[in-house]
């Protein structure tokens, strides 16, 4: 099989913080009676380039920096456009595509419909844990797509966060939700860290602290 067609749905391939967020969200979704199907997690850049070639000409793709030989091989102008970008958050291991699945006509079926009630449950729940939902984008709406776009690695702090993540952390800490990580948020984070037994006041939320905070607030 062409590796460019291979879809990775292994949650272990995600950034550790994003994986922690996703695990809590999936458990919550299942509690609400929805059976979530993880479609894709990590996406290598070559696969992203391939997807970008679908629905576009060689000239359009090479203009964006795709090698001419690659574009000549994979461009398919007659196909539907799949993605709007070469810089997908999937390639940084911080995005996941999820749809509900259920029995339809006696067969387990993935539901690709943003208006579907179970899809709406997934969207609202993923947002609850700090994911940005592609369903809310003004252009190129992507309802199965959820991302945590940022330069964080192993922790969130005042310099490494997203408005979506900051908002849910503030809510969990009973702060005013302005989605801006300032001194008040850092102080509250340090107070929570102390309650967990951390001896250092670093103003950081790692995977373990995130799990503990979100579990406490639910």
Q: Are residues 126 and 22 part of one domain?
A: yes
For residue 196, the domain's CATH number is: 1.10.101
Q: Could you tell me if 14 and 81 lie in one domain?
A: no
Could you tell me if residue 1 is inside a domain? no
194 located within any domain: yes
Give the chain's domain count: 3
pLDDT tops 90 at residue 217: no
Model confidence at 157: pLDDT above 80? yes
How far, CA to CA in Å, does 40 sit from each of 3, 53, 85, 204, 207? 14, 19, 16, 29, 21
Specify the CATH number for the domain of residue 28.
3.30.1380.10
Q: CB-based contacts of 85: which residues, under 8 Å, 6+ apart?
A: 52
Query: What pLDDT does residue 218 have?
Result: 57
What is the structure's pLDDT at 139?
A: 85
Instruction: Determine the Cα–Cα distance for residues 64 and 155; give it in Å rounded to an integer.
Output: 32
The pLDDT mean for the chain works out to 96
Do 27 and 57 sit in the same domain of this protein? Answer: no
- In this prediction, residue 200 has a pLDDT band, given cuts at 50, 70 and 90, of confident
Residue 51 inside a domain? The answer is yes
Average pLDDT over residues 198-215: 93
Q: Pick from 21, 47, 52: which is nearest to 146 by CA?
A: 21
Instruction: Quote the strand ranges of the chain, DSSP E.
Output: 36-40, 95-104, 107-110, 132-133, 145-147, 155-156, 205-206
Residues 49 and 39 in one domain: no
Smallest CA-to-CA distance from 25 within 204, 167, 189, 214 is with 214
| pLDDT over threshold 90, residue 216 | no
Q: Of the ranges 19-33, 66-80, 174-188, 191-205, which one carries the lowest mean pLDDT score?
A: 191-205
Q: Are residues 78 and 128 in the same domain?
A: no
Whether residues 39 and 57 share a domain: the answer is no
Mean pLDDT of 193-212: 92
pLDDT at 37 (0 to 100): 98
Asked whether residue 30 falls in the same domain as residue 107, the answer is yes
Q: How far is Cα of residue 59 from the mean position of the Cα atoms in its chain?
A: 31
Residues 11 and 41: beta-carbon distance below 8 Å: yes
- Asked if 83 and 174 sit in the same domain, the reply is no
The answer to whether residues 82 and 175 belong to one domain is: no
Pair (108, 81) in one structural domain: no
Q: Are residues 193 and 98 in the same domain?
A: no
Q: Which of 1-5, 67-71, 195-199 has the highest mean pLDDT?
A: 67-71
**Residues of the domain holding 175:** 155-217
Q: What is the mean pLDDT of residues 40-61?
A: 97
Render 49-95 in DSSP notation, one character per residue: HHHHHBTS-HHHHHHTT--HHHHHHH-BTTSPP--S-SS-GGGGT-E
Encode pLDDT of 101-153 as tens digits: 999 999 999 999 999 999 999 999 999 999 999 999 998 899 999 999 999 99
Q: Provide mean pLDDT across the span 31-50.
A: 98
**Is the distance from CB of 75 to CB of 58 less than 8 angstroms?**
yes
Q: Are residues 65 and 111 in the same domain?
A: no
Q: CA-to-CA distance for 197 and 194, rounded, in angstroms?
A: 5
Higher pLDDT, 201 or 128: 128
């Amino acid at each position: 099989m062409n590796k460019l067609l291979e879809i990775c749905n292994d949650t272990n391939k995600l950034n550790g913080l994003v994986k922690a967020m996703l695990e809590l969200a999936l458990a919550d979704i299942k509690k609400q009676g929805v059976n979530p199907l993880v479609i894709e997690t990590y996406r290598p850049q070559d696969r992203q380039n391939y997807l970008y070639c679908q629905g576009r000409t060689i000239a359009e793709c090479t203009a964006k920096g795709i090698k001419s030989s690659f574009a000549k091989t994979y461009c398919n102008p007659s196909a539907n456009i799949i993605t709007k970008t070469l810089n997908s958050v999937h390639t940084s291991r911080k995005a996941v595509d999820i749809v509900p699945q259920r029995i339809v006509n006696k067969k387990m079926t993935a539901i690709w419909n943003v208006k579907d009630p179970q899809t709406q449950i997934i969207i609202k729940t993923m947002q609850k844990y700090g994911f940005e939902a592609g369903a809310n984008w003004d252009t190129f709406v992507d309802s199965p797509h959820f991302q945590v776009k940022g330069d964080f690695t192993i922790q969130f702090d005042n310099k490494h966060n997203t408005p979506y993540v900051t908002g849910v952390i503030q809510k969990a800490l009973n702060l005013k939700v302005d989605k801006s990580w300032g001194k008040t948020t850092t102080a509250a984070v340090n107070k929570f860290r102390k309650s967990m037994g951390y001896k250092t006041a670093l103003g950081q939320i790692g995977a373990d602290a995130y799990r503990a905070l979100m579990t406490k607030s639910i």
